[in-house]
Structure 1
Amino acid sequence: MSTTENTPSDDGMADFGYSQSLDRSIGKFASFAAGISYISILTGTFQLFYFGYAFGGPAYWWSWPLVFAGQIMVALCFAELAGRYPVAGSVYNWSKRLAGPTTAWLAGWMMFTASVVTLTAVVLAYQGTLPLIWSGFQLVGDGTGETDFAVSAVIWGAVLVAFTTTINALGVKLMARINSAGVFIELIAAVLLIVLLAVNIVNPPTVLFDTQGLGAGTDLGYFGAFLVAALASAYVMYGFDTASSLGEETVDPRRTAPTAILRAVIASFVIGGLILLFAILAAPDLTAPEIGSVGGLQFVVLTVLGGPLGIALLISVVIAVTVCALAVHTAAIRLMFAMARDNALPAGARLAKIDPKRKTPVVPAVLIGVASVLILVVNIGSPQIFTAVTSVAIIMIYIAYLLVTVPMLRKRLKGEWPGPNAGKDGYFSLGRWGLPVNIVAVVWGTAMAINLAWPREDVYGAGVLSFIAPIFIGAVILVGLAWYLARGRHQTGTLPEHMAKNLEEAP
């Protein structure tokens, strides 16, 4: 690896062969907020607690520290990369510098596809909380009809997508202000919720080992049930690379982005873990069927706290869902822009065009918004299919992460990473811990991808749906690579309008 890549002259984009076209205005807190809002503890825990509890009972809580232990290894690898390559579309650009162009394109394509579906899944969380705040938020019927819940969810989801599209089209400054304010409220609400649940504990810590007999009579016993329950935690703790994906718009990104990534993961682990822990310990009746049903954590909060206080905390959840959707949409836009700037997508010049006034790629914002709304419609007639595809999207993100950590490990083993100046340039470096951390990150990512993709009727549905993971992912890979190998690879290259002006400075 060249010295130029390891010790860039400044934070300008010429080091990577690009011109500075985005608005560099994001500060330290906004960078941290981008990462933690994508993870979004209140969104993830309130949306998925019921799933983990239904399959694992109170003992499912142990999946939270387990997933954190694996994901922090990935985050450490990403932090090292973020200090050296703070470029939009982080996963795509990292893979491009660690592996070949085909691997990088596949990493970006899978991450992008998964991000669009993830945005759709996040906005559906409105429906799980809004009607509990006020019955009038149930826009269709009273919620008991066959399609009442799904149709209302699609309407609310479309409203939220319209909001995130508008904000992202207006510019990164407005997005960062709204996102930072939302994260600030979310953090305060999360800490308040932890305290209130803690003072209402009624169960002893021993309940955390209660399996409620789940998995009994099966080949793997509770271990098999726990592997399924762990998916709830795996579905939450990702997206921390968003802080680096906004690197081109961040002040002093080489130092800010690595710190933001690690702080986002650690803060999410601590806050989310305490919410789940105290919710289980404070639940009056751990056998209540409502806890293992959609809205399980909302049920616990309203049961324990009740009244205006419980409603106020649910309003904070709505705010968290809003900024989570905003962050997911923002990250998807940066990834699409990064690939389009390299002419690695159809109509690349159009997709990579920056609005001269707002300094943001408007076309990707609109296209991603439209695509998400179209996917939302599937939820009305086939919610089970949508749930399965959403789950598969998370697998694709884990695979995209592997398309970074595996090439990184390969370079470490060949002595080509992180280079002779690692640690001396003042940027984040794992030093001698880099190899073992990288190995664990790869092993963890592989194991979790297999666990996520394993055909399970309870997760994906019966019959052919249980194999939706290999079918859907295979289709995404085949369609994407068919275009790339037939046409894309022959046209890939930095578009002239985005090329560094001082080419002699570019590697």
Structure 2
Amino acid sequence: MTQTDDGLAGFGYKQELERTLGNFHTFAAGISYISILTGTFQLFYFGFSLGGPAYWWSWPMVFVGQLMVALSFAELAAHYPVAGSIYNWSKRLGNPHVAWLAGWMMLTASIVTIASVALAYQITLPKISDFFQFVEHPAVNAVILGTALIVFTTAVNAWGVKLMARINSAGVFIELIAAVLLIVLLAVNIVRGPQVVLETQDTGAGHSTGYLGAFLVAALASTYVMYGFDTASSLGEESHDPRRNAPRAILRALIASFVLGGLILLFALMAVGDINNPEIATGGLQFIVLDALGTTVGTVFLWTVVIAVTVCNLAVQSAAIRMMFAMARDNNLPAGKRLAKVDPKHKTPVIPALVTGVLAVVILVVNINQPQIFTVITSIGIIMIYLAYLLVTVPMLVKRLRGQWPPPKQPGQKYFSLGKFGLPVNIIGVLWGGAMVVNLAWPRREVYNATEPYHWYLEWGAVLFVGAVAVIGFGYYWFIQRHKTGTLADHALEVPQTKEETQ
């Protein structure tokens, strides 16, 4: 294996995607997927309304847990810098069946996430101007705005990775500057001390376990934000020196998001005029920014949130496209040959871009009259992502316990390594991931059926939907697709000759 193939030869693939992305591009992909301004502005109201100011403590809690996962992923990114990172990592660590399920869950989750991120337009644009409230019903208007965003990101991703990277990097640069400025301006306008994060506002009153029950629900707001850092590695086949850049990008994206997001949330709680104002629980950070900074300055920052949402959706769809491409070239999806085709002009899989965009719009349209569309779609997508992460970290832990990880190093290569800390980090990452799946999927009325009509199947909606996706998907694979699995000839590094060709 040569150093220039960056690991593709070991997977048996030809280099088809164009290597154009540098260090900042890969970092930008990871941080735009996490997208602090998108996640915090989209979900602050949820955490605050259910846990009060003290829900802030879920932010460092989630960071520590996700850091354990990210450190394990950084090791994997150094050894296997290929498209569809979760799928290919699981394939190397486990077996083809586990890999397919990991890829399927991540692909489905990514498409659902495209839809959920697009819904964030509704939480911000109408607060900037009534012009963006095209219809009176918020859920219907959210679908209209979200569809417009998905059409844009689909067109950009179909055009090629260069255009995507330029827009994404520019958007991330603006987002980072805006986040720092927002922290400074909120800090200048603080009216109370940091002890505000100890206030629960009696949110635990309705829970049998008191505030712990309320906190676990409110913590979902932070759990919904800090994921997607693996995107930096999913672009490995289009990046220069991905063995070195991808691990750094994964960790830098998560750490930067934690620091900036944590300070924004803290100073927002300290700067809002009346911490007991009921509008905080409905208007979220958008209300606080306008309240603390005034209409003019606040509106400028809301526009930066719109930019952040746009590039976040761009990155999420980019990751979904590469996952679909990676599975398709192994003939692990229906119509694999078409889905794995790389456009010769744009050097990108165009058909996966169109398919992911259309499916995301369908998800929005199906939920057009559902007032709980925001939390339900977000929750379902993230549960599947955490499950996909577990299908990587668990096989990785098994390999460690058997003494089979890390794999032998290639001559002349330096790899990111956790060394003796690898085992405890991996164990904590697995325990954390399992706990979060349970907490995310737990059937709670306030999450999955907050308004009437109340039905058991709505409350259990996440468990039923995710279970159906896993069982039906894996059933299709087991009885139909697994018999066809194998790297497609057009994508194989060396196409073996048939007996007829050698005669």
* Residue in structure 1 matching 2:429, options 433, 437, 441: 441
Deviations 1:127-153 (A, max 9, x none): 111111111111124xxxxxx212221
**Partner residue, 2:44:** 49
- Between the aligned partners of 1:314 and 1:46, the Cα distance in structure 2 is 9
**Partner residue, 1:288:** 277
Residue 79 (structure 1) aligned with residue 100 (structure 2):
no
Deviations 1:231-258 (A, max 9, x none): 0000000000000000000000000000
| Code of the aligned partner of 1:478 | V
Deviations 1:347-395 (A, max 9, x none): 0000000100000000010011111111111332223366424312111
1:115-154 alignment to 2 at 5 Å?
115-141=110-136, 148-154=137-143
- Between the aligned partners of 1:380 and 1:170, the Cα distance in structure 2 is 29
Deviations 1:457-507 (A, max 9, x none): 00011422111122111110111111101111111100000001498xxxx
Secondary structure at 1:49 match in 2: helix
Residue 60 (structure 1) aligned with residue 60 (structure 2):
no
Secondary structure at 1:383 match in 2: coil
Conservation of the 8 A alpha-carbon contact between 1:75 and 1:262? yes
Residue 356 (structure 1) aligned with residue 344 (structure 2):
yes
Deviations 1:380-411 (A, max 9, x none): 22233664243121111000000000000000
Conservation of the 8 A alpha-carbon contact between 1:47 and 1:128? yes
- Between the aligned partners of 2:258 and 2:169, the Cα distance in structure 1 is 19
* Residue in structure 2 matching 1:430, options 418, 430, 445: 418
* Residue in structure 2 matching 1:11, options 6, 12, 20: 6
- Between the aligned partners of 1:116 and 1:343, the Cα distance in structure 2 is 20
Structure 2 CA distance for partners of 1:81 and 1:21, relative to 1, 3 Å: same
Secondary structure at 2:307 match in 1: helix
Deviations 1:313-368 (A, max 9, x none): 00000000000000001000000000000000000000000100000000010011
**Partner residue, 2:249:** 260
Conservation of the 8 A alpha-carbon contact between 2:224 and 2:378? no
| Code of the aligned partner of 1:278 | F
Structure 2 CA distance for partners of 1:229 and 1:217, relative to 1, 3 Å: closer
**Partner residue, 2:305:** 317
Deviations 1:164-204 (A, max 9, x none): 01000100000000000000000000000000000111112
Conservation of the 8 A alpha-carbon contact between 1:38 and 1:239? yes
- Between the aligned partners of 1:19 and 1:423, the Cα distance in structure 2 is 21
Structure 2 CA distance for partners of 1:391 and 1:371, relative to 1, 3 Å: same
**Partner residue, 1:199:** 188
**Partner residue, 2:292:** 304
Q: How many residues align?
A: 491
- Between the aligned partners of 2:377 and 2:167, the Cα distance in structure 1 is 30
Greater displacement, 31-40 / 148-157: 148-157
Residue 247 (structure 1) aligned with residue 240 (structure 2):
no
- Between the aligned partners of 1:27 and 1:386, the Cα distance in structure 2 is 35
Secondary structure at 2:416 match in 1: coil
- Between the aligned partners of 1:390 and 1:121, the Cα distance in structure 2 is 5
- Between the aligned partners of 2:410 and 2:347, the Cα distance in structure 1 is 33
Conservation of the 8 A alpha-carbon contact between 1:53 and 1:292? yes
**Partner residue, 2:475:** 482
1:337-356 alignment to 2 at 5 Å?
337-356=325-344
Residue 469 (structure 1) aligned with residue 462 (structure 2):
yes
* Residue in structure 1 matching 2:28, options 17, 22, 33: 33
* Residue in structure 2 matching 1:165, options 129, 149, 154: 154
* Residue in structure 2 matching 1:382, options 365, 370, 375: 370
CA RMSD of aligned residues (A): 1.6
Residue 212 (structure 1) aligned with residue 201 (structure 2):
yes
Conservation of the 8 A alpha-carbon contact between 1:422 and 1:429? no
Conservation of the 8 A alpha-carbon contact between 2:116 and 2:377? no
| Code of the aligned partner of 1:258 | P
Greater displacement, 460-469 / 24-33: 460-469
TM-score, normalised on structure 1?
0.94
* Residue in structure 2 matching 1:23, options 2, 18, 21: 18
Residue 500 (structure 1) aligned with residue 493 (structure 2):
yes
**Partner residue, 2:501:** none
Conservation of the 8 A alpha-carbon contact between 1:388 and 1:465? no
Structure 2, unaligned runs of 5 or more: 497-503
* Residue in structure 2 matching 1:101, options 90, 96, 99: 96
Residue 398 (structure 1) aligned with residue 386 (structure 2):
yes
Secondary structure at 2:460 match in 1: helix
Structure 2 CA distance for partners of 1:197 and 1:437, relative to 1, 3 Å: same
Structure 1, unaligned runs of 5 or more: 142-147
Greater displacement, 151-160 / 420-429: 420-429
**Partner residue, 1:234:** 223
Greater displacement, 210-219 / 182-191: 210-219
Residue 491 (structure 1) aligned with residue 491 (structure 2):
no
